[in-house]
Amino acid sequence: MILDGKVARERILEGLAERLHRAGSPNVCLATVLVGDDAPSRTYVGSKHRTAGAIGIQSVGVELSGDTTQERLEDEVRRLVNDVTVHGILVQLPLPDHLDAEAVLRLIPAEKDVDGLTDASLGRLVRSVDGHVGCTPLGVLRLLQHYGIETSGKTAVVIGRSTLVGLPLSILLAQKGIDCTVTLAHSRTRDLVEVCRRADIVVSATGVARSIGAEHVSPGAVVIDVGISRTEKGIVGDVDFDAVLDIASAVTPMPGGTGLMTVACLMENTVNAARMQGVQV
């Protein structure tokens, strides 16, 4: 089975649009902050605004020049934090090298942290408190759920321990109601092949092109590719798709798999952020 992210994404967006419609189309607002002229970042932000508009979420964009000072950037974020009409704030990363991203993220309260990147959001995830999960980890879970892939009692290996994907995803998969037994693997893991072959679900999020091959996958395992590498032949993932296709019971393509889920889950987080801030939705 090919886990097509486009189909799962559209189902999420349709559900959110219907949820907003049933609630009387309340004002729900996502704010983005873009610093500099990085072309991929500008493309990503544009996609987020278009998707928001398509399902009935308002959006505002703050654009700052690449030489913006830390003080100016923090002032803009504070303004959005204090604006009661803004329910979600996303600071597009990476920021230019002279800016301190962690200091900026610390200004965003957990209720408005729709990217799920702050210390407070990660702490809420660890403690199973209502909050926002990072859009990519949440997208992996939603993809599994959309295709009816059983997680309870299954063994999962998450390869990569970044705070953006690997670490929060490992916590998410182990939570009550999802109930995987999770191994978090990384560059120091011994005998990664054997660790992966014992797993029912293998998720790779390292950004090392085609580093997961047939030898890593036991027959019938589910393989989720989160890694992205840009090569002369285009975008490829961590997983050697052709090598594992006839071994795995389900596998994500790259592109066309988990990446498509990220923006949809940002919209889900934004609607939930409005609810957490008192909007009846």
Point out the residues that are catalytic. Answer: 48, 92, 115
CA-to-CA distance for 191 and 206, rounded, in angstroms?
A: 16
Q: Torsion over CA of 55, 95, 114 and 77, rounded to 10 degrees?
A: -100
For residue 219, cis peptide bond before it (omega within 30 degrees of 0): no
CA-to-CA distance for 148 and 168, rounded, in angstroms?
A: 22
For residue 255, cis peptide bond before it (omega within 30 degrees of 0): yes
User: How many residues are present in the chain?
Assistant: 281
Q: What is the DSSP string of 131-193?
A: ----HHHHHHHHHHHHTT---TT-EEEEE---TTTHHHHHHHHHSTTT--EEEEE-TT-SSHH
Token couple for 221: 């395992």
> What residues contact residue 128 under an 8 Å CB cut-off, 6+ apart?
175, 176
The single residue listed with the structure tokens 């879970």 is 141
Token couple for 257: 């798999």
Reduce the DSSP state of residue 227 to 3 states and report it. Answer: coil
